[in-house]
Structure 1
Amino acid sequence: MQIIDPETAQGIRLQKILAHCGLCSRRRAESLILEGRVSVNGVIVKELGTRADPVKEKICLDGKQLHYTSDKNREYTYLAVNKPKGVVTTCSQKNAKVILDLVPVKKRVYPVGRLDKDSEGLVLLTDDGDLHNRLSHPSHDHEKEYLVFAVRPVSDQDLAAMAEGMVIDGKKTRQAKVRRVSENGFKIVLKQGLNRQIRKMVGKTGNQVAMLKRIRMANIRLGSLPAGKWRYLTEQEVEKLRQ
């Protein structure tokens, strides 16, 4: 047996196989491959384009063989969590409370995207690697909606500037939907997720964020889910996410 050539149309990309097995996100899988921790038929692979047959090939992570189950025979887990302020949106971090501490499920689920420690609100968790990638990849343009309150009043000019796009970290943000909810508060809908984007946009206006809460990701709404609590997504919600 041999490794399937990266240029052939056969097989499945290794990072997709790792994500499908619920071991990590596809982005993390790419890092594992580049670190030389993945092998196919006993050969270490560091090419991200490498494809393999997960049924016929022996694929290992850190020497342990992966067990691949086709979509037909696999049940995935999809969760919505209301992350409180102070919780870190990673699977593990020393001396910090992480998002998985809030979810007592046996399956290895992973957060879709990030929500910084000082922010709160909706985080999606899943072990469905394909859907995770669809929601995380910038090319898919899924909307994310936030409720924001600033320290000081926000002017109409400031809201218009954020809606039109601002240069932060040398890059102009994409146009956004912005709607005022109070003198200091507004809702903003983004289709991108630059690092601490909203905080930096508000900072550009000479103001500061007092509270930042994500209230929607694509078709999934936070609703009345209490802080620190979680729920399963409905079949209808998952189906719409896949569209």
Structure 2
Amino acid sequence: MKKTNENSTNINKFISSTGICSRREAEKFILDGKVTINGKPAQLGNRIFEGDIVKVNGQSLKAKPKTLYIAYNKPVGIVCTTDSKERNNIVNAIGHPERLFPIGRLDKPSQGLIFLTNDGDIVNKILRAGNNHEKEYVVTVDKPITPEFIQKMSNGIPILGTTTKKCLVEMVNKTTFKIILTQGLNRQIRRMCEYLNYEVTKLKRTRIMNVHLERLAEGAWRELTDDEMSLINEMTAASSKTEEASKNVQKKTPPKKKFIPKNTDKRFQPKRKKRR
């Protein structure tokens, strides 16, 4: 590849992009002669190309990996964990060269859309239940659905010591319904159905926020588009990055008792009264 400014990065920007310092501090490192490019002293204005070795104080720098956002159509049987001890873990299933981790999870017997990324910040923003981000599912159960079932599922079901939030539930056919949740309780849909004496035979997530599964083949993945990410960032702009529990008033810890050292000098010990 021909070296041009279009496929290169300014030395200051490259150094700061690795996270070790600001651009201004990078400039100072360069002026102090602490930066080399391929073994030669760097100068202000130098450009960094792919394959160049940049060192600061003799230590090689590596640019941060590109931020990735993946949509994956998880098949049944794949486990949403990065634990290498689990043979069917989602990372092995995707086989992406970069280190990714799932945003949330889908149960092993469930299938459909899940995001993976190397951006920890957006994980927190999307996952927080208080942020009300929609997830849509198509669910098949073991017996005919009744209007009463739809009504009860929509208005909230008592599970896990709480009542689920009101949600949209629509009948698709005799044994299949669509449900849109803004919660992410453990095995929520399965538990809701079990409470009403229904068993889930198939559960497929078809949408997360503005991203639809559509024609993504089972077991396939794709990068989210710039338009999709632009809208996700817009939708999560006001989202809390911290656990909801952190919003609660923390219990005040009692003040520590002052440490009063014991007087070990016998001359200053109070005299004990002798027993008569």
TM-score, normalisation: structure 1: 0.69
Q: Deviations over 1:66-113 (max 9, x none)?
A: x897xxx76311100000001001112524301112222222111000
Counterpart Cα distance in 2 of 1:54 and 1:189: 43
Q: Is contact 1:79-1:231 (8 Å) kept?
A: yes
- CA drift of 1:169 comes to 1.8
Counterpart Cα distance in 2 of 1:82 and 1:133: 21
Equivalent AA in structure 2 for residue 175 of structure 1: K
Counterpart Cα distance in 2 of 1:151 and 1:83: 22
- CA drift of 1:224 comes to 1.2
Q: Of the candidates 146, 164, 184, which is equivalent to residue 155 of structure 1?
A: 146
Question: How many pairs were matched up?
Answer: 179
| Corresponding residue for residue 127 of structure 1 | 118
Equivalent AA in structure 2 for residue 181 of structure 1: V
Equivalent AA in structure 1 for residue 185 of structure 2: L
Query: Structure 2: 5+ residue runs without aligned partners?
Result: 1-17, 23-60, 235-276
Q: Of the candidates 203, 209, 233, which is equivalent to residue 224 of structure 2?
A: 233
Q: Of the candidates 166, 174, 177, which is equivalent to residue 175 of structure 1?
A: 166
| Corresponding residue for residue 86 of structure 1 | 77
Aligned partner of residue 181 in structure 1, secondary structure: strand
Change (3 A) 1:122 1:184: same
| Corresponding residue for residue 208 of structure 2 | 217
Aligned partner of residue 236 in structure 1, secondary structure: helix
Q: Deviations over 1:121-152 (max 9, x none)?
A: 00100111211111112221110000000011
Q: Highest relative contact order (Cα 8 Å, sep 6+), 1 or 2?
A: 1
After TM superposition, the structure 1 = structure 2 runs for residues 135-146 of structure 1, keeping only pairs within 5 Å, are 135-146=126-137
Give the CA RMSD over aligned residues.
Answer: 2.0
Counterpart Cα distance in 2 of 1:206 and 1:181: 19
Counterpart Cα distance in 2 of 1:222 and 1:133: 22
Q: Of the candidates 168, 177, 185, which is equivalent to residue 186 of structure 1?
A: 177
Instruction: Decide which structure has the larger Cα Rg and report it.
Output: 2
Counterpart Cα distance in 2 of 1:90 and 1:134: 19
Query: Structure 1: 5+ residue runs without aligned partners?
Result: 1-20, 22-52, 57-66
Counterpart Cα distance in 2 of 1:102 and 1:184: 31
| Corresponding residue for residue 110 of structure 1 | 101
Counterpart Cα distance in 2 of 1:186 and 1:91: 31
Equivalent AA in structure 1 for residue 136 of structure 2: E
Runs of 4 or more consecutive aligned structure 1 residues displaced over 3 Å after TM superposition:
53-56
- CA drift of 1:155 comes to 0.8
